[in-house]
Structure 1
Amino acid sequence: MPRDTLTRDQIVRAAIEVLDAEGVEGLNMRRLGTWLGAAATAVYWHVKSKDELLVLAADELWGEIELPDPVQVGWREAAAVMARNLHAMVLRHPWLVTAMSTHLIYGPGKARHDNHLIGVYEAAGFSGRRVDWAMNAVFVFALGQALGEASDAAWRRKVRRSGGDPEEQVREVVERITEIASLFPRLRARAEAPGDDEPDQSFEFGLQAVLDGLEARLGAR
């Protein structure tokens, strides 16, 4: 694909596809050019470097987060929807965690998200620095909950790239963990307990607990 038929938007969307498939370590201009059916030089015509492209791709992801109106649904539900969307977005694009740890991710997409989020917590009744504190409490919880699963996806991809078998390594790690846990009574009891068919509600439990705490602070004020 010649450079004059490429657009920056096409390049950014293709970069996201490469990143989803291969992670940050799999993204380079040559690989992206192959993905697009173009020369690497055609990509450089629109984007100066891999670092710039990574920031553009990461910023684009924030457009996937729904922005509910707190006037229509209430501040708490709006905050919950955005937190759930953030959690799901990171799980769809686990490389974002790596990108955020090495690059300052900020552009129109992230600004749009943050601007709306400020409005949600202002609608709740927070003001001044308390808006930031309330936002961060929920944001860090949602991001942290996704971190474990995103890290697992990155680890599995790394193992596969090196020719290993992730499932075999997981079994070996579980065996070691079980052996260590058996030395501690509470951990041993949980390991030996029968399986629970109830779906995992840990994210929703934690999210509602954080929102309960914020609501209680508003009531106390």
Structure 2
Amino acid sequence: MPRDKLTADRIVRAAIELLDAEGLDGLNMRSLAQRLGSAATAVYWHIKNKDDLVRLSSEAVWGEVELPDLDTTDWRTAAAAHAAGVFAMLTRHPWLVQAFGSHLLYGPAQARHNDFSLAVYEKAGFEAADADRAAAAALAFVLGSTLGPAAQVSLNRRLGKTGEDAGQLVADAMAQATETAKQFPHLRKRLDTAAAAEYAGAPDHAFEFGLRSLLDGFEARLAADRADAKD
């Protein structure tokens, strides 16, 4: 494809598809150019380098998350909806979790979400410094909740490239992990239940439970602050 038919938006969309399929390690200009039906040199007319491409891809996927209307929504509903939206986006694009630790990511789309988080917790009643802390705690919870799925995607991809039976490798590892877990009483008790097969992953509704507990804690903190202010 001639370079004048390429656009930065088209390149970024293709990069996101490649990142979703192959992860950060699978993103390179040659593979991207092949996906676009172009020469690698043509891509460089629009994108400076791989780091710039990851940053632009990050901005694009942040744009997938809708922001609730704070003028018509109470703070807790808005906080829950925003956290769930970010969690869903990171689950769709697990490479972004890895990119947080290896790339300098910035831009208006991500900043818009950071600004919204502060607005949510200021609306809740937190002073500026505590709104910062609440927003940071909420983001840390969401990021932590996506580490498991992101790691599983990365592991499956790596095992798939070994040439061995990936399913058998996982089954053997799980069998060894089960034998190890049986040495510990609380883990052993769970392995003896009917839900043991599912318990190998995150328990059902773990994200919803954790988010609800986090927001309950914020409400309790706000109530305690109001009580202290009255004394």
Q: What's the TM-score bracket when you normalise by the shorter of the two chains?
A: over 0.9
State percent identity of aligned pairs: 51
- The answer to whether the 8 A contact 2:97-2:146 is kept is no
TM-score (norm 2): 0.91
- The answer to whether the 8 A contact 1:63-1:113 is kept is no
Corresponding residue number in structure 1 for 2:228:
none
Cα distance between partner residues in 2 of 1:50 and 1:161: 23
| Pair 165,91 (structure 1): closer, same or farther in 2 beyond 3 Å | farther
After the TM superposition, list the runs of 4 or more consecutive aligned residues in structure 1 that deviate by more than 3 angstroms.
Answer: none
Q: Give 1:136 shift.
A: 1.1
Q: Give 1:104 shift.
A: 1.6
Aligned residue pairs, count: 220
- The answer as to 2:193 corresponding to 1:189 is no
Which runs of 5 or more structure 1 residues have no equivalent in the other structure? none
Which piece of structure 1 moves more, 185-194 or 202-211? 185-194
Corresponding residue number in structure 2 for 1:58:
58
Corresponding residue number in structure 2 for 1:9:
9
Cα distance between partner residues in 1 of 2:50 and 2:138: 31
Q: Give 1:161 shift.
A: 2.3
Q: Give 1:53 shift.
A: 0.6
Cα distance between partner residues in 2 of 1:184 and 1:111: 44
Which runs of 5 or more structure 2 residues have no equivalent in the other structure? 226-231
- The answer to whether the 8 A contact 1:70-1:77 is kept is no
Cα distance between partner residues in 2 of 1:191 and 1:59: 42
Q: Alignment partner for residue 216 of structure 1, among 181, 205, 220?
A: 220
Corresponding residue number in structure 1 for 2:107:
107
After TM superposition, the structure 1 = structure 2 runs for residues 1-221 of structure 1, keeping only pairs within 5 Å, are 1-195=1-195, 200-221=204-225
Letter in 2 for 1:74: D
Deviations 1:141-165 (A, max 9, x none): 1110111111110111111123233
Deviations 1:7-65 (A, max 9, x none): 11111111000000111111111110000011001100111111111111112111111
Deviations 1:120-156 (A, max 9, x none): 1111111221111000111111110111111110111
- The answer to whether the 8 A contact 1:33-1:40 is kept is yes
Deviations 1:157-185 (A, max 9, x none): 11112323332121111111111122222
Secondary structure of residue in 1 paired with 2:46: coil
Cα distance between partner residues in 2 of 1:206 and 1:6: 44
